[in-house]
Structure 1
Amino acid sequence: MSDITIPKLNNNDSTYLLLEWLADDGANVEADEPVASIETSKAVDELVAGQAGALRQALPAGTRLSPGTVIGRILPPGVPDPGPRAGEPEPAMREATPGDDAPLPAESEPIVTQPARALMEQLNVTPDQVRGLGKKLVREADVRQLATTGQGTRLHAQSPVQAAVARTVTTSHSTIPAAFTAMRVTVDAVLVEARTLSRRMRCLVGLPEFVIAAVASLHRDFPLFFASDAGEGTWAEAAGACVGLTVDVGKGLYIPVVKDADGLTLAQIIDAVTVYRDTALHGQFSERDLQGGNITVTLHTDPDVVVAQPLVFPGQTCALSLPGIRRELHLDAGGEVGHRSVVDVGISYDHRRVNGRDVIQFLGALKRLLESPRDLLGAGGASEDEAPGGGG
């Protein structure tokens, strides 16, 4: 017999939501077959069966639970159901009692999660409004869309994703003495290479992919920029460059991580970013996508954004910002007036770990890589004469 237990997925949440069962109660499942999905403040992950057998659900979808909670078990073939263990809830039921995390009663009713029910009361959303959504599972975000007062004033409750962002911002500003520097980079050459790769890989390639590759390539020469706090004034060097990239398509701020980017070709980095971009638009991130970053690139690419100061994410040393690309006039080497595309790459950094001189050297090395992108392409394994893998 194998228990299905809620794992510890991150350090931001004390509870997770049992979003749905992926197999019916009593159904026969195979080992490693997904049987349930759970939702954190920023991601959805699947739980799998530890062995083959019959699934026994102990808790209903819509329940909010702490890590370590047993939500069900897998019974081997021929083994009778022993019933609940001491302290374990009874099998999932559709009936709800005041304060329970069970869904609303009756098979014809939608499953409404406990956080969604609490928000219904807070924002005066009626059950009829919820039924009108026509959804099998109703979550906080669904209730928030329905939330209006009698006068039609739109109310906005903080989403779980934004609540996680708020905790990160509060921790960063209260614990990290951050400083900020920016350096202007000419990007005409790298934009030409990006357009070439976009055509050849049949996917969108832009400046962020090149910045990730350039930042990752600096890991060996600037290890403290990727280090983590080891306590008592010491910093632990990272084995590789794991670069987070901010993604926000209107569904909340996420930071998926390109793992060990210093060991990837530019084409592989482009593929990874393309997958994350598609996930942000059409799917949901898993906790694995969001974990492990040791440096972050934040995007502020509206053309009217001149400079942006990112926060340093707790546990990291620095975060870079990539604002909008703009055109400017300049004097060339012969004294003639010309024009060029530039971006002011910014970096916020933990001043306890690195100093301004170190940061200027880091940005200078990054600038040289971006202004000579063929060197970066060669180091990354992509060139005009070879065909990188498709980016989807």
Structure 2
Amino acid sequence: MSIQLKVPSLGESVTQATIGAWLKSEGESVQVDEPLVEVESEKATVAVPAPAAGVLRRVLKRTGDTVAVGEAIADIEEGAAGASVAVSPLGSGPTPGGLVPAARPESPPPQPTPPAPVAPEASGPRGAASAPAPTPGGGAAARRAPPSARRLMAEHGLEAGAVAGSGPGGQVRKEDVVRALERPAEARAPAPAPQPAARPDGATARERLVAMTSLRRTVARRLVEAQQTAAILTTFNEVDMSRVLEVRERHGEAFLAKHGVKLGFMSFFVKAAVEALRAFPVVNAEVRGTDIVYKDHYDIGVAVGGGKGLVVPIVRDADALSFAEVEKRIGELAKKARDNRITMDDLAGGTFTISNGGIYGSLLSTPILNPPQSGILGLHKIEKRAVVTAGDQIAARPMMYVALSYDHRIVDGREAVQFLIAVKNAIEDPERILLEI
């Protein structure tokens, strides 16, 4: 029985998508729930699984095709054997009917083609107008030319392609070379190689035109919308990471042994952000029309680099999770993003976002809001700097610049600064997070 593979629902308001890479070829066996094809929507790239075990009989949509939600993109022969389906490479079109005949008669051996008769030479004088046109592969004809013709071409620097051979099979004769030399130099010069197309400004074109993916188009649109609809401001501070590094050094191995996951920096900042959001709930709110929606849950988006670009999966109810649970959840989401297996459920919602540009070496940046959220915390590279410590002593400390971009329509500057100071205090004294003080 044939089953159609259809484009699944890709989230609210998403009606179409683009076919990405096919993970299986026509004729290959598939297992139930095995990823078959990547589909790029305006929100994420998701892998569509096989609805049943069988054979991918026919691919209906190719990479780059635009498809609608619910549209059939392939046929699966349920329970069929792999040998019963013709294998045709993607892009070459399916085999008619999709089935391989039980026996294929052998083709008869090719019959030798009789040689074409050679036209006799004309008896009258052979002028330029009556000379036969140059045959393809002039170089080969020149190699069959007699020594006198080859020597004459070499003496005058004449290329073989500029000489029309009149002998059998296009052979170049001495008189052919003489006629070629009698023509103007411009006429016998080989055609110039085609030059790259020029742009209107006269420069040589050295560009490639590549269409944006649905995900990239949506990222671009939403970033512009954020700039146009929200009053975005950014405030900065710096954090001494000494205590967090000390905790990780002292308890990292025991943490890994007990929980099976490394103790990273992000769990500290997620918990610190939750405590700061509790103290300043307006940063966790959003503007909805002429209303402010305060949210009493803490679903923290963590920006991660995926196989198709930056995505922001959600660590839900982060306030109820332990450090180990936060680390495990972030690790799971990051792996799904790298494997292009992120789902709409992983991305939907979110009340606040944390973006760590420090892993790429960023020292300072101004993150852009993730609408409709009103705040985003930017983390940066840890770098040793000279700071003044207690007793006016100067010491080298591992410092990190942090940035809070916020929607000034509902978040005042005073609240934004105090929020960032609350994050700074929690990181510089991590026991505050554990004791919730």
Q: TM-score range by the shorter chain?
A: 0.5 to 0.7
**What are the within-5 Å matches in structure 2 for residues 303-382 of structure 1?**
305-378=362-435
Q: What's the CA shift for 1:4?
A: 7.4
CA contact (8 A) 1:36 1:48 kept: no
State the shift of 1:37 in Å: 6.0
Deviation at 1:179, TM superposition (A): 0.9
- What's 2:312 paired with? 255
Computing the radius of gyration over CA atoms, which structure comes out larger, 1 or 2? 2
Over 3 Å counting, the alpha-carbon distance change for 1:348 and 1:163 in structure 2 is: same
Correspondence for 1:221: 279
Does 2:218 align with 1:164? yes
Q: Output the CA distance in 2 between the equivalents of 1:37 and 1:228.
A: 33
Identity %: 24
Aligned partners of 2:30, 2:327: CA distance in 1, in Å?
40
Task: Tell me how far apart the structure 2 counterparts of residues 57 and 239 of structure 1 sit (CA, whole Å).
Answer: 49
2:364 touches 2:380 (CA, 8 Å); kept in 1? yes
Shift of 1:10: 3.6
**Partner Cα distance (1:13, 1:197) in 2:** 45
Residue type of the partner of 1:40? S
Which piece of structure 1 moves more, 13-22 or 246-255?
A: 13-22
Kept in 2: contact 1:320–1:347 (CA 8 A): yes
Structure 1 residue 23: Cα displacement: 12
Give the AA of the match of 2:264: G
1:236 corresponds to which letter in structure 2? V
Which of 179, 182, 204 aligns to 2:233? It is: 179
Asked if residue 272 in structure 1 is aligned to residue 273 in structure 2, the reply is no
- The 3-state SS of whatever aligns with 2:309 is coil
**Contact map agreement 1:266 1:377 (CA 8 A) in 2:** no
Question: Aligned ranges for residues 27-106 of structure 1 at < 5 Å?
Answer: 38-41=39-42, 42-46=44-48, 60=61, 62=63, 63-69=65-71, 104-106=92-94
* Residue 229 of structure 1: how far off its partner (Å): 2.9
Higher alpha-carbon deviation: 179-188 or 6-15 = 6-15
**Contact 1:244–1:257 (CA<8 Å) still a contact in 2?**
yes
Residues 238, 401 of structure 2: 8 Å contact kept: yes
1:173 Cα deviation from its structure 2 partner: 1.3
Listed as ranges, the gaps of 5+ residues in structure 2 are 77-86, 97-195, 198-203
**Cα distance, 1:12 vs structure 2:** 7.7
Query: Over residues 151-180 of structure 1, what are the superposed CA-to-partner deviations in whole Å (9 max), with x where a residue is unaligned?
Result: 994626254143232112111112111011
Summarize the Cα distance change of 1:262–1:268 in structure 2 as closer, same or farther, 3 Å threshold: same
Q: What do the CA deviations read for 1:266-311 (whole angstroms, capped 9, x no partner)? A: 1100111222333344453222222222211111115863321001
For the residue of structure 1 that corresponds to 2:366, the secondary structure is: coil
Matches within 5 A, 1:108-147: none
Contact 1:303–1:325 (CA under 8 A) maintained in structure 2: no
The answer to whether the 8 A contact 1:204-1:274 is kept is no
Contact 1:23 1:36 in 2 (8 A): no
Q: What is the aligned partner in structure 1 of residue 159 from structure 2?
A: none
Deviates more, 1:198-207 or 1:319-328: 198-207
1:193 aligns with 2:273: no
> 1:155 is matched with which residue: 208, 228, 232?
208
Any stretches of 5+ residues in structure 1 without a counterpart?
75-93, 96-101, 109-148, 381-392
Mapped to 2, the partners of 1:328 and 1:24 lie a distance apart of: 58
Check whether the contact 1:43–1:284 (CA below 8 A) recurs between aligned residues.
yes
**Partner secondary structure for residue 279 of structure 2:** coil
1:208 aligns with 2:266: yes
Which deviations, in whole Å up to 9, do the C-alpha atoms of 1:209-238 show, x marking residues without a partner?
21112112334332221223332x212222
Could you tell me which amino acid in structure 2 is paired with residue 301 of structure 1? G
Opposite residue 191 of structure 1, the aligned amino acid is L
- For 1:248, what is the secondary structure of its paired residue? strand
CA separation in 2, counterparts of 1:158 and 1:193? 47
SS at match of 1:296: strand
Contact 1:195 1:205 in 2 (8 A): no
Q: Deviations over 1:33-52 (max 9, x none)?
A: 98876432422143675x99
Instruction: Indicate the SS of the match to 2:335.
Output: helix
Residue 319 of structure 1: how far off its partner (Å): 0.9
Are the counterparts in 2 of residues 240 and 260 from structure 1 also a CA contact under 8 Å? yes
CA RMSD of aligned residues (A): 4.2
Q: 2:16: which partner in 1?
A: 15
Supply the distance in 1 between the matched residues of 2:423 and 2:73 (Cα, whole angstroms). 49
Flag the 1:368–1:170 CA change in 2: closer, same or farther, 3 A.
same
What's the TM-score once normalised by structure 2's chain length? Answer: 0.59
Distance 2:252 2:95 in 1: 50
2: distance between equivalents of 1:303 and 1:40?
26
What amino acid does structure 1 have at the position aligned with 2:230? I
Residues 336 and 29 of structure 1, relative CA distance in 2, 3 Å threshold? closer
The 1:217/1:24 distance shift into structure 2, 3 A limit, reads farther
